[in-house]
Amino acid sequence: MDFSFSEEQELSRKAAKDFAEKKIAPTMEEDEKEHRFRPEIVKEMGKLGFFGCIAPEKYGGLELGTLSATVMTEEIAKVSPSYGLPFNLQMFAPQTVLLNWGTEEQREKYLPGFINADTMGCFAMTEADTGSDVASMKTAAVETDDGWILNGSKMWISGIPFADVGIIFASTERELKHRGISCFIVDMHTPGITQNAIETKLGLYCAPTGEIIFEEVRLPKDALIGEKNGGFKICMNMLDSTRLSSATRAVGVSAACIEHSTRYANEREQFGRPIAEFQMIQEQIATMLVEHEAAKLLVYRAAWMRDQGVRNTLQVSLAKYYAAEAAVAAANTAVKIFGSYGFSTEYPVERLLRDSKSYQIVEGTSNIQKFIIAGYALGKRKDK
């Protein structure tokens, strides 16, 4: 029997595909040129339940599971990689953290808003001097009698400057390195917080990215998620979800590259026949398809494991590494197949190449994924 999806998962895919084609595609190319983000699109996705896949019904979720969320993300990213990102900001990051580590009060207070997108989310580890080496973060939270005081800054944070509530990681005992990091849920409109857009990105023009500055920000006691100094474990657990979601977006990009390239190869004629008839073009398309299918199956397996409640850190890294590399390779090939038109902003493949590069960086670079994979292969890492 072939690998197949449940009826529910197929309906999820169809809902996302229809939404992407009807609500995102019509304005997307113009928005890309203007670098315009439309929060109303994210809010509509929220109202339709797109961000309710992993949360129980009592918080407003639909409990459709990670595989449903995965096929939805794939369909949205195929049309717009930028609008695939909110699956992380509204669902995988904040909801994974709250469901696995939050108190009942924190869940009741925050989950419904993330799910219906009345609350715009973000999650922040990265700083100007701290990327792969998360444990060396400098943003610090100092405990007081009635809560915490947060100082520092975060860089390259998706969703900024539109975030209402963020999952913020900060050092609470710097000398302990990764054992001295804590996780906070922060109202991003608290006095002392500034959100600035980064306008110099290579791609993902419809997805806001920015820096956050924290100056003497007073947080209440219950802003802490989990235990003091327990944040690194929460962060790694969250990354198992957000990484998978970025691998899924990469699969959406390679699907789009294949669709555009095959159509173009059948239409474009040189030497009196469609370029699709040249064996070298066929080889390029076959390679794109093989790598795309392999990436997709790695992603589906990791998502399925999450739905079974099985730890999937290795499988997520395998999927993230391979899907990111396959997306960049597919976009690079697509630009070649389009010739000069691949170099033109009139066609989508140059955008797909620019957007695809983000997957080799976000949620841990390709090198970091290989570092994790090799760790498992060499017996240096083991799941407890």
Ligand X SMILES: Cc1cc2nc3c(=O)[nH]c(=O)nc-3n(C[C@H](O)[C@H](O)[C@H](O)COP(=O)(O)OP(=O)(O)OC[C@H]3O[C@@H](n4cnc5c(N)ncnc54)[C@H](O)[C@@H]3O)c2cc1C
The binding site for ligand X (CB under 6 A) comprises 123-126, 131-132, 156-158, 204, 209, 358, 361-365, 367-368, 371
Between 278 and 371, whose beta carbon lies closer to ligand X? 371
Three-state SS at 155: strand
Between 281 and 316, whose beta carbon lies closer to ligand X? 316
CB of 3 to ligand X, least distance (A): 31
Structure tokens at 9: 């998962």
The span from the CA of 129 to the CA of 211, in Å, is 13
Asked about 363 being catalytic, the answer comes back as: yes
CB nearest ligand X: which residue?
131
The backbone region for 278, taken as left when phi is positive above 0, alpha when psi lies in -120 to 50, beta otherwise, is beta
CB of 357 to ligand X, least distance (A): 8
- What is the 8-class DSSP label of residue 21? I
CB of 361 to ligand X, least distance (A): 5
Which residue in the list 32, 127, 291, 363 is annotated as catalytic? 363
Distance of CA 69 to the CA centre of its chain: 12
CB of 147 to ligand X, least distance (A): 23
Structure tokens at 184: 């906070």
The DSSP annotation for 247-315 comes to HHHHHHHHHHHHHHHHHHHHH-EETTEEGGGSHHHHHHHHHHHHHHHHHHHHHHHHHHHHHTT---HHH
The one-letter code for the residue type at 316 is V
Between 67 and 350, whose beta carbon lies closer to ligand X? 350
Give the residues across from 147 on adjacent strands.
Answer: 220
Between 225 and 258, whose beta carbon lies closer to ligand X? 225
- N-to-C CA span, the chain: 33
What stretch of H or E contains 124?
strand 121-124
CB of 264 to ligand X, least distance (A): 27
Between 37 and 300, whose beta carbon lies closer to ligand X? 37
Residues noted as catalytic: 363
